[in-house]
Amino acid sequence: MSERVISLLEQVLAEQQKQTDLLEQIATQNLALIEALADDVEVDPDAPPLTYLSGAPCR
C-alpha cells in the first residue's frame, strides 16, 4: 500500500478509537443515570400492581 493510504487508514483508526471511547463514556454515564433513577423510586407495597405476572399491563 502507498504511504498515503496507510496514513489515511491510521487516521480512520484513530478517529474510531476516539469514537469508541466516547461511546463507552456515554454508556457509563447512562448506566449511572439509570441506577440513580432506580434508587430514587420508592415502591409502595400496598399499591395495586401495574402488570400481571405475564407482564401484560393491568387495566
Digit-coded pLDDT (tens) for 3-49: 999 999 999 999 999 999 999 999 999 999 999 888 877 778 888 88
pLDDT at 26: 98
Total residues found in the chain within this entry: 59
Q: Given the C-alpha cell 401495574, which residue does it identify?
A: 50
pTM here is: 0.60
Query: Is the Cβ–Cβ distance between 47 and 41 less than 8 Å?
Result: no
pLDDT at 49: 87
Which residues fall within 8 angstroms of residue 48, CB to CB, at 6 or more apart?
58
